[in-house]
Structure 1
Amino acid sequence: MESAIILILALILIGNVRQLKKVRPLVLLCLVAVGFTVGIVVNQSGGPVAAVDQTKTQLVKILRTLNKKNVRQANKNDSLKAKLTSKAQELGVSLDEQETTPQTSDDDLAKLTYQGQQIITVNNNQPGFSQADLSTARGAWQHYGDLDSLNRATQADALLNQSLMPKTKRERLTVNPTGWHNKLISSGWLYNRSHLIGYQLTGQNNNWKNLITATRSLNDPAMVKYEDQVADYLKASPNHYVRYSVRPVFWGNELLARGVQMRAQSVGDNSVVYNVYIFNIQPGVSLNYADGTSRVN
């Protein structure tokens, strides 16, 4: 009799297979135990049909209760995710784990292939500055690496503060960085002369060491979005400092950068923290990174 009851119990469970997918293994073991118990009851009562009906009723009740709990937990998870996402947006960080890469060398970043996401985080969004890098002992400063043998900009570093921010309007740019083959496309000019460290942060303008050829989408809104975070923080107090580093990433002897890595860390707090890589691409346009020429798709 026990075997018959267990067989019927299995059929009942199969009939509710969709709900069973949400049930933990421990709960299933409990349900099987219920079957054995019912088998014993049947032997004692001699009423198998009534026992099966009772078992089915109890199982359905248990499954429905579990399903309701799963729904409530899912709603709680959705609510928590929404709160975390909102907070992350306030902090200017991303919760998307799949869009991060541990690579930090030029070659590693240059090898990355654009997959539809222009901005990705590097090293879990941690800039990786040492305590010495964050020291304010020398006050605010800025440094621009020398041009390489191909006249390409190499890197720009600074300890930013209000004292470095310009007080005059920016003049017209006249420098043509490597890979400069600009042209009009449907959305406007394809390229911008892009500052590694934005003019609003240091006042550097026609500085060869601080300029690269960048697509409009790379320069603004992508880079500007992160520059604005730093600028807003610096404007909030003359005592605020931000360690800042930006480097263009070239592949081999190409004249057009594949992208730009931006790192920032506010000193003394985490109001500004990021380590991102931005692809130098323009939707609807194929770029020849060897020389900066392009073709509209």
Structure 2
Amino acid sequence: MKPKHKKNSWKQWLLILCCLFLTACTPGGISADRQGGGSRETQTISLADIPEYSGEPYIVLNGNEPDFPKSEWNLQSFEQYGELDSLGRCSTAYANVGTDLMPTEKRGSIGQVKPTGWQTVKYDIVDGKYLYNRCHLIGHQLSGENANDKNLITGTRYMNVEGMLPFENMVADYVKETGNHVLYRVTPVFREDNLLADGVQMEAFSVEDEGEGIAYNVYVYNVQPGIQIDYATGESSLDASGTSKAETSEGDIRGNSRSKIYHCPGQAAYEEMADSKYLVIFETEQEAQEAGYRKAKR
């Protein structure tokens, strides 16, 4: 039996989305640049039509209606990942998410993948300190994908946790609770030859109930409040409102807020923890232990 607090949690996400949609800015004429991401091979999102970031992690596109033609509404789970372009950048990731596509094992290591624009940099004003995460286009909880370089882009902590994760969770909750399928597509949006995406377009549509359960079309900003980012290279600096930049250090202790286990430099999962959403940084082992954490065995 499922815990009561889990029941219909996707409906709660949907209600929140609808409320935000009422006040969201909706630019017209938006589409996506896609390779293998559906029936149409070449479409273009114009960044000129995307308003500047103004404090919310995403905006609604096309009246919140995703662009999945009826010919693609099917009950066969699949996943497709577009080829990397000549600069090594990801293109569209597209899936029909069902329970059979979801992982049956714990997430594996992804630290060996260095997506375009990747920089290892920390700031005190960023939750977990690390500015960048390796962001799954189609999240591991939906597809079971780990170190797939066609599915990982460089994204800010803010985009990953505040922007993308709520929409991903909405789909995961819905599929687990209903057993239905959700067409799910994420398209990174790059300006010219920049190595870092300006943002991502996320679309989802529940198949069996023809969008009654899940239907959204949003653009999520790849920004970090208080940080200026050079999208050509991924380099960054504090803006005028920021505080001190965190010192570069190889000796930080990386804790996992979910497991209450901490990892020291050189331990097996130390590098993997760098972009975990459960990352907590400690300066010393004593500090970690006083916070109730125990050291990893290997």
The answer to whether the 8 Å contact 1:110/1:259 transfers is no
Unaligned stretches of 5+ in structure 1? 1-85
Q: Distance between the aligned counterparts of 1:224 and 1:87, measured in 2? A: 15
Q: CA deviation at 1:135?
A: 1.9
Q: CA deviation at 1:91?
A: 5.9
**1:280 matched residue in structure 2:** 222
The answer to whether the 8 Å contact 2:77/2:100 transfers is yes
1:175 matches 2:113: yes
Unaligned stretches of 5+ in structure 2? 1-10, 34-43, 240-298
Q: CA deviation at 1:87?
A: 8.3
**RMSD across aligned C-alpha pairs, in angstroms?**
1.8
Matching residue within 66, 70, 81 for 1:144: 81
1:235 matches 2:176: yes
The answer to whether the 8 Å contact 1:154/1:209 transfers is yes
Q: CA deviation at 1:88?
A: 8.6
CA change 1:281–1:149 in 2 (3 A) is same
**1:17 matched residue in structure 2:** none
**1:47 matched residue in structure 2:** none
Scaled by the length of structure 1, the TM-score of the pair is 0.67
Q: CA deviation at 1:182?
A: 2.2
The answer to which of 179-188 and 281-290 deviates more is 179-188
CA offset digits 1:48-107 (Å, max 9, x no partner):
xxxxxxxxxxxxxxxxxxxxxxxxxxxxxxxxxxxxxx9896263234355112222456
CA change 1:89–1:144 in 2 (3 A) is closer
The answer to which of 109-118 and 217-226 deviates more is 109-118
- Partner amino acid, structure 1, of 2:17: G
Q: Distance between the aligned counterparts of 1:276 and 1:176, measured in 2? A: 26
Q: CA deviation at 1:222?
A: 1.4
The structure in which a higher percent of residues are helix is 1
Q: Distance between the aligned counterparts of 1:97 and 1:221, measured in 2? A: 18
- Aligned pairs for 1:150-229 (under 5 A) are 150-173=87-110, 174-186=112-124, 187=126, 188-229=129-170
The answer to whether the 8 Å contact 1:261/1:276 transfers is yes
Q: Distance between the aligned counterparts of 1:197 and 1:170, measured in 2? A: 13
Q: CA deviation at 1:218?
A: 0.4
1:110 matches 2:51: no
**1:99 matched residue in structure 2:** 25
Q: Distance between the aligned counterparts of 1:279 and 1:225, measured in 2? A: 14
Q: CA deviation at 1:272?
A: 0.7
1:249 matches 2:189: yes
Q: Distance between the aligned counterparts of 1:108 and 1:243, measured in 2? A: 20
Q: CA deviation at 1:109?
A: 4.2
1:90 matches 2:30: no
Q: CA deviation at 1:110?
A: 2.5
| Bigger radius of gyration among the two | 1
The answer to whether the 8 Å contact 1:244/1:263 transfers is yes
